[in-house]
Structure 1
Amino acid sequence: MGESSSVSENLPRQAGKIRVGVLGATGAVGQRFIQVLANHPWFELSVLAASHRSAGKRFADACHWYLDEPMPAAVRTMTLEPGQPGMDCEILFSALPNNIAQDLEPTLAAAGYAVYSNAGSHRAEPDVPLLIPEVNPQHAALIETQRTRRGWRGFIVTNPNCTATHLTCALKPLHDAFGLRRVFVVSMQAVSGAGYPGVSALDITDNVIPYIGNEEDKVQTEPLKMLGLYAVDGIMPANFRISAHCNRVPTRDGHLECVSVELDRPATEVEMVSAWENFRGLPQQLGLPTAPAHFIEVRAEADRPQPRRDRLAGNGMTTSVGRLRPCELLSYKFVLLGHNTLRGAAGGSVLNAELMVAQGYFGERAIAAPVQAALRATQLPLWQHA
């Protein structure tokens, strides 16, 4: 894809693996990408890219490591590159801020890279997939329209806003089983969602901030695109309404959301729980490497889910729900919890790439052959790169 560069000298090539890179590697989400990609069975992390100010430095020298888990030894001596065409990889995972992603990601897609973006810059564009593999795997096919319209050799696939991600995960089984008319959600969002160094300690200690810029609009619109109907020229949004309040609270990781839903068809609490517990998305059916065994985990305890106790369910890729009960205004209300920088950011983006490897976009790969064979055996709609 890109031409060889000096970073490829840092690590030996791993036979059969797909070479990938991380844009914005030194930031909080970039570090999550590195954590998720370390020892990945399909992907070889060969490129770390950062600003021109950091380019040329060793990763360990340029990065203030934010995560509790230690920095993977393999990346410590890797040389940071500027994010530009010529990087030696096929796939780029982007943790760039919106203002940089807006122009740089299309440049890289045009140059032939498969860009999996965590930025919000392109999510609303009609030919850009906004993807959660368990929710709307068929939307990946939009990239053919995208490439044709834009004349790109590569493409951009986005994952949704972190709060919208877990809301959509919880709504998907209900939308399929009963339909939805109205959704009301109040979020309590961890400080890590603001990046590093994030919210000032003086602002968040002993406090709740009842405003997160542009967040409510994302939560009210992105689930409708993901739960909408695929068409070659775009997505027809789902026909229900969402009203959101978004708040920043003094927890480190894990977004908690209080949700009320009005169903289109009547359902009992037992049927609601059954819809969640019995839902298995395509990643679970195929056993994709980053997919959790349980897409939704239903907690029966009166005081769960909680951020500290439940955010790492399914290695941070599971959405936990609990406190299901009748709602005095709508049909039912419940609480959900999900990890904002794993499923809600880096982990979700890596799972998007795994899905498209399984779907055959990157060709027949020995590393993914069992999964590709399993997908063909399901006789489910399969998008293949022409």
Structure 2
Amino acid sequence: MKQAELADRLNTRLGALTGRPGKLTDRHVRNWLTGKTRWPQARQRAVLEEEFGVSAEQLGFVPPAARERAPSEDPVRRRTFTTATASLTAAALLPAVPSNGSARLGMSDADRLERNFAELVKGDNEGSSTGIRLETRALAHAQHALDLQAVGQASARVRRRLYYLAAAFTGTALWAAVEAQEPQRAQGHLHKAMTLSGMAGSSEMQMRLWGHAALLAFQQRHMHDALAAAEAGRRSHVCRSDALFRSLASARLAGIQSAAGEDSAALRTLAHAEQTYEQADFEEQRPAWMSFFDRAELEGLAALVMGRIGRHDESEARLHRTLSLLRPEFHRNRTYYSVQLALAQLAQGEADQAVATALPLLPEEGEPLMAGRNRRLLRQFDRGLRRLAPGAGFVIEWQERFTEGEKSL
């Protein structure tokens, strides 16, 4: 729901609780989401708990006593999201007036938001901020980037930067919805992010969004749209000026081509991606969202291409290289490519090896299966395993653990 809608629902509950209509607004909700307000008033906590069916602490709020027990922090990081959620510096979000006390916005105001964006991307890569939590936080930050526009005067350059950041945060919300397999929400984020990136005049951000649009269309099996989006990403101006962007856009296009049955084109495009990667200047400064794209990711994207065109042995080899090169903190990608490795092994008839790869990915007893794309892939693995080796002892062990995880959802 919209922030204002949640405020209205809570106001209704406050009316029933106190006999007087509540006075909450969307600003209160944004302050909760960003961590600016870390412990709402007692009546507000009561209706929040009633609305969501969990305690205030489970929603991520921290009582003052808990904050006093926490280790001392530097002032910039003091007001953060709680330990119940991934930490994001929120103190620098929306000042009542710009930090310099004047009625004019400067690049320093945008820089603080950009640091938050880098922290959000880091949390996504490390798997500490995913799904609806990542999506909600990203949207709250995007709204703050737009709210800053109304705080005071600013140069055209600063305003373009704020539109860029609003697009960046909305793009992260788009990615979170795609990852969570929520196409309706993702589509809404895509339209808004594209508009904002156009207002920012950012070819680089549009290239990022075209990549997400291609994946969204692929999930919906709209292959012509997926191809068109991936090709649009590779035509972006930034791909002509920066080899690393061109390599990423080409690798994504190769993945869509292989899924669409265009095997020869996919191999040519993948070869171009690999050649272009070697030409990239890795000392050049790039936006935070590009930090994930390295040799490990290129090998992983190539492995997906090989699997889709039926070259499962080469796909497996590349996935092993991916997992050996992947940075230790990239937990989300490690899980994703590990599931892909199990599927590649299964496709070659190596059921026992595939189970050995996939079994450690299942949750502990009583915990639910992982969400989004990885859950869908594990279900695909389960169906394939049952067909390949029904009744085998290691398959029975897998089925028991997998079924237990499904029941916990």
- Greater per-residue strand proportion: 1
Normalised TM-score (structure 1)? 0.28
- Greater per-residue helix proportion: 2
Which of 1 and 2 has higher RCO (CA within 8 Å, sep 6+)?
1
Normalised TM-score (structure 2)? 0.27
- The higher radius of gyration belongs to 2
